[in-house]
Structure 1
Amino acid sequence: MARSQTNWGVLLDLSGPGPKHAQLARALRTAIRGLEDGAAVPPSRQLAADLGCSRWVVTQAYAQLVAEGYLDGRTGSATRVRRIGSAAEPKRPVPVEQPRYDLAPGLPDLRHFPRQRWADAVRGVLTTVPHTDFGLPDPAGHPRLRATLADYLRRVRGAAPGDVLICGGVTDGVTRVCRALQEQGITRLAVEDPGWTRLRRAAANTGMAIDPVPVDGEGLDVERIPAGTRAVLVTPAHQFPTGTVLSPRRRADLMAWARDVDGLVLEDDYDAEFRYDRRPVGTLQGTDPGRVALFGSVSKTLGPALGLGWAVIPPQWTADGHAPPVLDQLALAGFVESGGYDRHLRAARLRYRARRDRLVAALGNVHLSGVAAGLHLVLHLEREAAEVVREARAKGVKVTDLDDYRVAPGEPALVLGYGNLADNAVEPAARLLREAAG
């Protein structure tokens, strides 16, 4: 802006704390907010004369504002205003309108996170932990949590945990094992198709070649594991996303396959605590600890934000990594030891069972599949799933296409998660979904 239009000596207030150039930079920030993008500020010599200060004060203030993005200084050209919020500033992302009803799978009921009990566990750790636990942590995890989880897995899941490793979650544990497999020459991993996309991608990112294997009403079709593959990733207690359970025949076939090829089964036990029609089947790992690596976490029971998981891995396949923060580990140990975790799971099991029943009833006469377990079910459609997803979203309902978890497209279906759906939202969400699917 020309000098005739702006009396800079009057406009700039150089009062306040700090050296002269800092006072000037502060005053200029305020003044140029009222100017247009590209407006010129006075040359440093001219502004110094107007203010009765040295030119060095002005050049230092200009340099500071150029570094902050308020001014654009180019050799041979006037120094000009470059407005924060103009093209010089990265554009703020446009807020994405959140759906009114979220039926995407993957989350537990975050409204019922046991805040008070967890706070008590954290407080107990901080008041009782020995000072030595504030030192360098054990990469395999704190011995107390490892022992606590070994007892829990033996008692609740029928596992045979010889040595529990603490990790950041199932993805972290599987990634470590994939690296260990490659170090010993195993470079292919069979995965369920459909299956959990994030795990498949994580394994591929380590350099593993991925072999998709179909899933049917009995779970993974073991006979279709490609020749030459010596590792397979499965969810036998409750397959994600189809909701099937690996049949006794297939369980026997899978363990026979592992022995025949001298291979490893990676067992993702992601939500086995939630079975509503009967007790959940025990782990594969408990039947052959030398052939199965077992993975679990609190992501589906408490919340993924905690970043706490575990793995029980045959010694020859253990890989290095970093355990979660020690205080969080000890809080989980105390929560489990006090019985708080068991009480939380019992209450959650009742809540999810009732919510699933309500959702099934509210959806009415539709084709659903998946055993009464976990936090999701599958809705089969008579029209393109992608169209239903779009129409449901337009009505404020977020749902997920089953094809999102497939390697190749298949019959149209949706995966409906009800874990984090509020109880009073079940009927209205189901009504809008029926309208979109119809």
Structure 2
Amino acid sequence: MRTLVDLPVSLSRESSTPLSAQLTDWLRHAMLAGTLAPGERLPSSRGLAAQLVVSRTVVTEAYQQLYAEGWLEGRHGSGTFVAPSDTPRRETPRAAWHPDGTSPGAWRPDENADRRPATPGDLIDLTPGTPWVRDYDRAAWKRAWRSAGDLPLRGTSDPYGLPRLRELLADHLRRARAVPVGPENVLVTRGTGNGLDLCALALLGGGGRAGVEDPGYHVARTVFAARGARVVPCPVDEDGVIVDGLPEDLRVLYTTPAHQYPLGGRLPIPRRERLLAWARRTGATIVEDDYDGEFRYDVAPLPALYGLDPSRVVLLGTLSKTLGPDVGVGWLVGAPDLLARIAALRESVSDRTSGPVQQAVATLLERGDLDRHLRRMRLEYARRRAQIVETLGPVCRLRGDTAGLHVLAELPPDTVQGVVARARERGVLLDSAQRHHHSRERLHGLVIGYGSASLADVRRGCQILADLIAGPPAEG
């Protein structure tokens, strides 16, 4: 069977376009032109890397991009093949291609390719809040839903959640986050917003004062205000919420200590201990949002606030960053007496989490599919994070790059909106820190999410952003 070994692949190391993007476009064009026909086998990543004298990562990144677009398919134990011509495909060229004759020729970068006005389909989304949902184990997902479909519908809904899922989530939290809990400490929610609403119902009441980090998660402000609470902005610095000076009359303090949103700080142990001492002294309840705590890079995990003092902390978690927002399953961890109060309130307002969805998630946990997905995505996100650090680190200060799915790129205040606008013109969507402030903006920059964009798009988007931040070269 003919392989790519005989094809005249040529990559330019002088081009500003990364080698993996060049190879991706070369292969895509070869398949469009028919030089590589459906069903033909490609070399192994190791073999092609040796032929081209590049790192294996260059080839694997190109193959992964073409897998995602539908150009390639894998056959168990056989290798990588050109997909059949009727396979749905999404062509996303990374730069202009200049063929020589009837077959692909040498790469010639188009220096103006990234300066053309972008169409909606070309946009690279580097805004925060969305995970990668295009690379999951479809067989495991289908198996989980078949398992849920085999069970009869229930006439009533347990306000705590399915007992089987609560047991599995307790085990997951012990393993993944070192939080010592049993099923009696777990209530299944529909996600973070639902968990916040239940906390507001149980802990605040009309007129209660709720502290929210500033800058911080705007949904927390909205949910607490909608339940009649008086929202109090609580300043944060590069490490997280500032404990000294916290008001003494707060009933609730919402915080994101594992990876502060949006600045990215990790609350140090001494400050965690001072925060818990403040809660014990004032009688406040800390609502700890562990929204993306599963994703860490080059750092050891810090203990959850809940694990340090379960009597003063409610821990919220969600699968929205792990599997996707559409799953609609999260958890609320707290003392059994508080959970009993929340469960009773939940029944009174007919709030529930879908039973079939809970069954499906339980199957994913029980079979180890969720753990495998987490391990795979940790590696994938780590590569994207490394690309951001490599490209943007030399041109601006980055915060929060040790965990989660976003970083903060600090910029001078008078440049932020201009960079956002010019990036949009060149096809890159960005979010500014201004939107996340409740009061006066104190830290200025861009909140860059790398969950929803492919590695190739993260690389290209960050290079465009780096060029904009650096500005035009000096004349002379």
Runs (4+) of structure 1 exceeding 4 A deviation are none
Matched, 1:341 2:370: yes
1:287, distance to aligned residue in structure 2 (A): 1.5
The one-letter code matched in structure 1 to 2:154 is: F
What is the TM-score of this pair, normalised by structure 1?
0.74
Q: Contact 1:268–1:294 at 8 Å: present in 2 too?
A: yes
Map 1:150-161 → 2, pairs under 5 A? 150-161=170-181
Residue aligned with 2:306, SS: coil
Residue aligned with 2:204, SS: helix
Q: Contact 2:298–2:402 at 8 Å: present in 1 too?
A: yes
Q: Which residue pairs with 2:197 in the alignment? A: 175
Q: Contact 2:220–2:254 at 8 Å: present in 1 too?
A: no
Q: Which residue pairs with 1:144 in the alignment? A: 164
Q: Contact 1:230–1:258 at 8 Å: present in 2 too?
A: no
Q: Which residue pairs with 1:369 in the alignment? A: 399
1:139, distance to aligned residue in structure 2 (A): 2.2
Distance 2:185 2:398 in 1: 40
1:98, distance to aligned residue in structure 2 (A): 5.7
CA RMSD of aligned residues (A): 1.8
Q: Which residue pairs with 1:26 in the alignment? A: none
The one-letter code matched in structure 2 to 1:155 is: R
Matched, 1:102 2:125: yes
Map 1:203-282 → 2, pairs under 5 A? 203-282=224-303
Residue aligned with 1:222, SS: coil
Residue aligned with 2:308, SS: coil
1:378, distance to aligned residue in structure 2 (A): 0.8
User: Which one has the largest radius of gyration?
Assistant: 1
Q: Contact 1:244–1:370 at 8 Å: present in 2 too?
A: yes
Picking from 333, 353, 378, the partner of 1:312 is 333
Q: Contact 1:273–1:280 at 8 Å: present in 2 too?
A: no
Distance 1:214 1:98 in 2: 39
1:335, distance to aligned residue in structure 2 (A): 0.4
Map 1:4-403 → 2, pairs under 5 A? 97=120, 100-127=123-150, 129=151, 131=152, 133-161=153-181, 162-183=184-205, 187-314=208-335, 315-316=337-338, 318-319=341-342, 320-321=345-346, 322-366=351-395, 367-382=397-412, 383-403=414-434
Q: Which residue pairs with 1:429 in the alignment? A: 461
Residue aligned with 2:248, SS: coil
1:236, distance to aligned residue in structure 2 (A): 0.8
Q: Contact 2:144–2:364 at 8 Å: present in 1 too?
A: yes
Residue aligned with 1:373, SS: coil
Q: Using a 3 Å threshold, how does the CA distance of structure 1 residues 316 and 134 change in structure 2: closer, same or farther?
A: closer
1:99, distance to aligned residue in structure 2 (A): 5.9
Q: Contact 2:187–2:332 at 8 Å: present in 1 too?
A: yes
Q: Using a 3 Å threshold, how does the CA distance of structure 1 residues 371 and 395 change in structure 2: closer, same or farther?
A: closer
What is the TM-score of this pair, normalised by structure 2?
0.68
Ranges in structure 1 where 5+ consecutive residues have no aligned partner = 1-95
Ranges in structure 2 where 5+ consecutive residues have no aligned partner = 1-118, 472-476
Distance 2:421 2:193 in 1: 30
Distance 2:226 2:236 in 1: 23
The one-letter code matched in structure 2 to 1:347 is: R
The one-letter code matched in structure 2 to 1:164 is: V
Distance 2:442 2:301 in 1: 29
The one-letter code matched in structure 2 to 1:340 is: D
Q: Contact 2:392–2:466 at 8 Å: present in 1 too?
A: yes
Q: Deviations over 1:197-246 (max 9, x none)?
A: 12221111111111111111331111121131131011111111111100
Q: Number of paired residues?
A: 339
Residue aligned with 2:307, SS: coil
Distance 1:254 1:140 in 2: 29
Distance 1:278 1:414 in 2: 23
Distance 2:431 2:253 in 1: 25
Residue aligned with 2:235, SS: strand
Residue aligned with 1:112, SS: coil
The one-letter code matched in structure 2 to 1:111 is: R
Distance 1:436 1:207 in 2: 43
